Structure 1
Amino acid sequence: MGFMSSLRRLGRRRPALGIGLTIVLVVGLLAGYAVWTPPAGISPQSQGQVDPAKQVEEWQKAVRDQISQREAEIAELEKQLEDKPQDADLWLKLGDTRYALGSLYLLTESDGAKAEGAFEAALESYEKVQKLDPAEKGVYLRIANTAVFLGDNDRAEANYRQAVAADPADNNARMSYAMFLAMAKSDYDGAIAQWQEILKNNPEPELADQVREFIEQAEEMKKAENPPSGGNG
C-alpha cells in the first residue's frame, strides 16, 4: 500500500517522525480503543535478558494470537448485529476491532492485502455509525486514520479537520493530524501549527517533549526541502 511505502521512506529520512506516525496510527489508537493487549513477557525491562531472535519470535506469536482473538470478536459482533442492525455502539465496536485486525496484519508478516481488506471493512462500519448516530464525534478521527491506511488523503484530511473542530482540546486528534500533514503532505508548517496547539493544551511532560522533538525535526525537514537560494552578491 502507498502509505507503508511512504512510512518507510520517512523512517529513513527522519526516524522520530516515522516511528511517531506508526505509534499514533497503530499502537496508540489501538490502546485508546482497548482492542490491543501488549504481548506478555515482552517489555523494555526484559531487553538484554532475552535472546533477540527469541524475543522477535515471541512477539510474532503474540501478534498472531491477537489476530485470532480479533477475528473471533469480529465474528461475534457480526452475529450480534444480525439481531441489532441499528445499534450504533455495536457498529463502532466492530469498526474498532476491524481496524485493530488490519493494524495487526501490518505488525506481523506485513500482509498488505489482508490489512487493506480489514481497513476497508472498518471504514464501512464507521460509515454506518455516522448514519445511525450523526452526533458521534469520535468517528471523525477513526475515519481519518483508516483513510490514511487506505491511501485516501483527501478524505483523511477532511475528517482530521472535523475531529479537531469537534474537540479542539483533543491532543490525540491533533497529533494524528500533524503527523498526517508532515508525512503525507510535507506540510511542515501545518504540522507545526497543530503541535504548537498541543503545547498550549498543557500536555503531560513526556508528550510535550515528544512534540518539541517533532517540531524540531519538521523544521529541519522544511529547511532541507527548501534550501535558501544563493545570491550573486
Structure 2
Amino acid sequence: MTDETVTASTAAPMLRAAPVFSVALICLGAGLGIGYLMRGSQQAVLPAIGSAHPVTQTDATTAKPMSHRITLEQMRQMADKQAAPLLEKLRTNPNDTGLLVQVGAIYHTTHRFKEAADYYNRALEIDPKDVAIRTKLASSLYRNGDIEGSIAQLNRALTYDPGNANALFDLGMIKLQGKGDPKGALAAWQRLLKMNPQLSADRRATVLKLMADVMTMMGDQHGMEGARSNDGHQ
C-alpha cells in the first residue's frame, strides 16, 4: 500500500462510504501518520538521518507503465542492495542507532515489516526513550498484524513524551481502524490538540476534520463543539 499520510480530504469520503469503523474505514498508509504532524514526513520516506531514497509502492504500482512496473520481489531485492552497505557498517558499529533506523526504514518501505521491527527494536535496546523510533516500531508492528503490540509501543512512547503529536495521531488511527474504537481515537486526538498548541493550522485542521467525520459516523452532534472548545483554537 502506498505510504501516504492520511489527510482529512482522503479520509472523509471513505468514512461516508464504508461501514462504520470497518477495516477499510480509513486508508492509513504503510507509515500511518508517522512524522506527518510535526515534520510532514512519513514512514515511507527514510528518516532525515539517512540519504537513500527507497522505492515506494507508488513507484512500484502506479508511477510506471504496466510493462515496467516493479514487482514486490524486485523491490525487496533493491532493498537488500540498498541495505547492504549499511549492514556492513553495522558489523563494525552495531550500536549505531542511526544505521539501525535506516535499515528498518528500508525494510518497512518494502513491506518486510518483521525485519523492520527487528531493527527498530535493536535501536530501542540502545536508546529506549527515543519516541520517534518507538513510533516507527509501532507502525511496523501494526503492518505486520500485531495491533496490540503496536498500541503498547505507542503507549510506552507516550510515557516518555506524553504530548508527542506523532504518537498520539497514530494511536488514534490504530484505535479507529485496528480496534474499531472511535472513542479511543477521539480521546487520543483531543489530547493531541490540547497538548500541541504549536501545531500548524493546516495540520490542526486535518485532525479536527478526522474527528468531525468520526463523530458524524457516531451520530454525535455535540461532541465536536466540545472538542473545539477544549482545543482552544476556534
Counterpart among 120, 124, 127 of residue 114 in structure 2 = 120
* Contact 1:36–1:100 (CA under 8 A) maintained in structure 2: no
Larger Rg: 1
One-letter amino acid matched to 1:120: K
How does 1:121-200 map onto structure 2 within 5 Å? 121-200=115-194
SS class of match (1:29): coil
* Contact 2:168–2:188 (CA under 8 A) maintained in structure 1: yes
Separation of aligned partners in 1, 2:193 and 2:69:
38
Counterpart among 24, 28, 32 of residue 25 in structure 1 = 32
Deviations 1:140-177 (A, max 9, x none): 21111111111111111111111223223321111111
Per the TM alignment, residue 124 of structure 1 is displaced from its structure 2 partner at its CA by 1.0
Per the TM alignment, residue 31 of structure 1 is displaced from its structure 2 partner at its CA by 3.6
For the pair 1:212 / 2:221, whether they are aligned, the reply is no
Deviations 1:74-123 (A, max 9, x none): 11111222222233332222112211222xxxxxxxxxxxxxxx111111
Separation of aligned partners in 2, 1:100 and 1:38:
7
Separation of aligned partners in 2, 1:55 and 1:91:
29
Percent identity over the alignment is 22
Separation of aligned partners in 1, 2:71 and 2:205:
30
For the pair 1:99 / 2:116, whether they are aligned, the reply is no
Deviations 1:13-38 (A, max 9, x none): 4799613x227527722347246579
Separation of aligned partners in 2, 1:14 and 1:209:
22
Length-normalised TM-score, structure 2: 0.65
Hey, what does 1:222 align to over in structure 2?
218
SS class of match (1:164): helix
Deviations 1:48-89 (A, max 9, x none): xxxxxx96539x758989766543221111122222223333
- Alignment gaps of 5+ in structure 1: 1-8, 43-53, 103-117, 225-233
How does 1:26-65 map onto structure 2 within 5 Å? 28-31=42-45, 33-34=47-48, 36=53, 57=65, 61=69
- The alignment of Structure 1 onto Structure 2 pairs a total of residues equal to 188
* Contact 1:36–1:66 (CA under 8 A) maintained in structure 2: no
- Alignment gaps of 5+ in structure 2: 1-13, 34-40, 221-234
Length-normalised TM-score, structure 1: 0.65
Q: 1:214 to 1:94 in 2, by over 3 A?
A: same
* Contact 2:32–2:43 (CA under 8 A) maintained in structure 1: yes
Task: Please tell me the root mean square deviation across aligned C-alpha atoms, in Å.
Answer: 3.7
